[in-house]
Structure 1
Amino acid sequence: MVVSAPHILQNWWQNIRRIHGVEIQGHLGALLSLLGTQCNKVFVTQLMGFWEPSTVTFKFLDFEITPILEEISSLIELPIRGRLPVIPSTICTGDFLSVLDLHIFRSLRYVDGGHIELDYLFQRFGRLEGYYEYQREFECTRGAWEHMRSRVFVMDFLGVMVLPIRSNSIDINILPMVVSIFNDPQRFTLVPMILAEVLRSMTACIKGHNFFGGCSILLQIWAREHFYRRDSQMDYYIGAPNKIESHEDRLQNWVGAPIGREEWRTFLNNVMGDTIQWKFSWVTELAFARTRYFFFIELIGLRGIQPYAPLRVMRQFGVIQDIPL
C-alpha cells in the first residue's frame, strides 16, 4: 500500500504551487495534505482483517461500521451535494498522449499496459525546464504546455496517492476524469469514486490481492477518528479548516493509544460499540442511507461498481433517511 508520498510528487507540488496552486487546491481540496501524511501500515493491515465484504462493513464484537460519503466529503473538503459522481472511461494510449500534446511516435514506448511512470511525467511536466529539454516530444507551444501542467499534476497525484494501481505508476484512465473535472468543476465530484476504491481494495486484499489500490492514508484517518472517543464539546479542532492536517492534533490526548501490531490486534479484537466515536463532530448534515427503491447505493469506482450499504453505521446515531437519488 502507499505509505507516504514519493519525493518526486512532493517536489512537483513545490515546483507548481506558485503558479497553479489555487487552481489545483480547488479540485483536490484537503487531499493535498496527504503529501505530508504517513500511513501506519501495521494498523491498516490489522484493520482489514475485520472487513466483511458481504455486508460492506467492518465487523467487531458488538457493532458494525463503514465509511460514509459525508465523512469522506468532510475529511477531504470536497462537496457531494448537488454534484454528479465522476464517471470513469477507458482511454487508448494514442488518445492519452494526444490529450497531453505528446508526440505519439516518440512517447508510445513509455506507456506500458495502460500505465505510465510518475518519473516520466515529472521530467516533462513537473520541472520548469521540462518543456525546453523535451521540446521535440511536445506538439504544443510553451503556453499550452503550461496550461496542461496542472491537469497532469492532478492526474499524477490521484494516480499515486488516491487511486494507485502500483507504486509510482499512473493509470492513464484517470486522465478523462481529470479533464471532466477541470472543464466543469461545479458539476462533478470525486468523493464517491474515492470511497468506492477504498471499499473495493479492502475486499480485493482479503481475497489475496497483494496491493491496496485505494487511499490507505484516508482509511487510516477515518478509522482512528472513530476509535478515539472524545466529548464533542471538548473537540477544539471541530473548526479546523483542514481535517487531515489537524488529525494528529485531535488525537494527541488519546491516552494508551495502541502502537504496535499486537497492541492494535488486541484493541480491535476487544473494542466495543459504546467506546467509540460514532459521529464526527464536524459532520452536521443528514447522510445518504439508501435510495428510494433500493437499500444500497452503487458507487462507481475507477475499476468497477462497488455496492455500498451504509445503513449499519447510520442506525447508531439516528439519521436514516430515504434520499431520492
Structure 2
Amino acid sequence: MMFRKTKLFTVVAAAIVVGFTILGQSPAPAQAQGMKDLTFSLDFIVLGRHSPWYVALAKGYYKDEGLNVKIIPGKGSASVISNVESGIAELGFVDVPSLTLARTNKSTIKMVAINYQKAPYSVFSLDPGANVTKPKDLEGLTLASAPGSFVTNIIKAFMRSHGLDPSKLKIQGAAPSAQIPMLASGKAQAINFFIMTKPAITRIAKRSGKQARSLLLADFGLKLYSNGIGAKESFIKNNPEVVRKFVRASLKGWKDTFANPAEAAKLQKQYAKGLNEQITIEEIAILKKLAVTTDTKKNGLGWFSGEKIKASRDYMVTNAGLDASKAPKATDLYDLRFLPKKPILP
C-alpha cells in the first residue's frame, strides 16, 4: 500500500510540476503578412496560473494588435531571464527580486508591467507535520528547495526582517518534481512553491489524511513586487509600439480571466491538455488576490509605481545580502511608458 501511495504522489506531482512542458508550447500559426512574430517566455512550465496569457492568445487579442505570439515554458526565475537575454524570447514573465540580482550581473531587462502586485512566495507543510503557520516556525525547519533557487534568499531575507535567524533554516536540495512527493511521504518537512500551487498540494495531502498548510510571506509583511512583463532595453528601444501592443493585449487576457475563470480554464486547456480545469479555476482565484489590489483597481491591471519598485530594490539590498555598490539603480529596473493610456480595470 505504501508503494502505491508513493507512486501516486510521484505521478500526480510530476503532472503538476513537469508534465506540461511539451503541451504548454502554444502552436505557432503560419506567419501572416504584416504580423510581428514574438516569443514570450513563462517563468515555469505551464500551470493554471498562466491562463491569462492563453486567454489573450485564444481570444485573438495578440492577433488584433498585429502580433503572432508564441508562448514557451520556463524553468524558474533564472531561466526566463536567460531566455530573454539570449534572444530565445523577446519578452518574459520576469520577477522583480530576481531581476534586481540579474542587473548586478549585467542584465539589461526592464519591467514594463507588473502582474503580481503581491509576492506569491509560500512555504508549504502538512498538519500533522511541521505545521508552519507563522514566521517563527521557520527557525529550526528543514526546507526542500530547488538547488540554486533564489526564493530561499527571499525567505531568509524575510526571516531577517522579522528578527529571526536565517541560519536556523536548513535547506535541503530537491528538484521541483520531487518536492511534493517528498512532502507527502514525510521525506521533507516543508517545501517552497508559489501560493497558486495550494489547490494541487491540498488534494495530495488529503490522500494521506493530512491538511496542507501554507505560509504566504506577503500575509506577514513581505512587500515586494513580483512577476510581470520584462524585455531587454535594446528591444524596448527598437520596438516601442510592439511592447505597448503586447502589454495591452496581455492585460485584456488578465481582465477576462478574472471575469470568467471557467472560460479561461477551458481556453487554456486547448494549449495544455493535461491541465485540470477545476485546479486551474482555483489557481485563478488565488491569482486574483495577488493581481487585484487597491492600486490596480484604481490604475488598471499591470500598473506599478517607481516608488514601489525602489522599495522592492531596497529590500533586496538590505535583506538579501546584495552589494549596495553593485546593485542597480531603481530606475534601471523599469520603464513606465508602456502601460495602456486607458487603464484596463479588473
From the two aligned structures, give the one with the greater strand fraction: 2
Report the structure number with the largest CA radius of gyration: 1
TM-score category (smaller protein): under 0.3
TM-score with structure 1 length normalisation?
A: 0.24
**What's the TM-score once normalised by structure 2's chain length?**
0.23
